[in-house]
Amino acid sequence: MVCFCGLTARALVTELGLSYGYSKKTFNASNYYQNESKSASLSFYFLEKFALEFSYTDSFYEGEESDTTSTRTVQQSSQYTDSSLIYVVTSKQSAIQPYIKGGAAHIKKNQTIRYQNASAISIPESTGWAPSYGVGLKVQVTEKFGLKFSYDLWKTPLSDGTNSDDTSFKAGMTWYL
């Protein structure tokens, strides 16, 4: 007796993404804060609605506060290396694809505080592993190219042993390879 089984082979779909974010808030000429972030991601899709995403985000924050007697400038750089499991809510063939994700990130932060006419103070570097979560939306423009919007949250460990919630809104482009 001969038995034939219908097996289907699926290629591993790979996606490359690039994102950028910038914001600046100015209260007056000497009181402001600004933040800039750049991200790159590589995702491997499997089982139709799941993906394993590896991403790297580099961000820089600067804030300046002044009063009549002094000026204080705070600069912070942060790097996030993240691995997340993504679940796409709709079909991958949909033009609009909302998704949720969760994973773990390695985070590194450096901060420097400067007072006018004084030496800089470096805060001890914060480094560690933390959970990460997020939601997003992809809009397919063509079969291979799309726009990607996401909101991410990291439970960042701080140098004093506590945690902070760091968030990021990103907008970018995505290509299916």
pLDDT in tens, 21-60: 888 999 988 899 999 999 999 999 998 899 999 999 999 9
pLDDT in tens, 76-86: 999 999 999 99
Delimit the domains of the chain by residue range: 16-176
CATH of 16-176 given 2.40.440.10, 2.40.160.20, 2.120.10.30, 3.40.50.300? 2.40.160.20
User: What pLDDT does residue 60 have?
Assistant: 95
User: What pLDDT does residue 5 have?
Assistant: 44
- Say what the alpha-carbon torsion angle 167, 169, 175, 177 is, to the nearest 10 degrees: 10
Residues of the chain with pLDDT under 70: 1-11, 159
User: What pLDDT does residue 17 have?
Assistant: 95
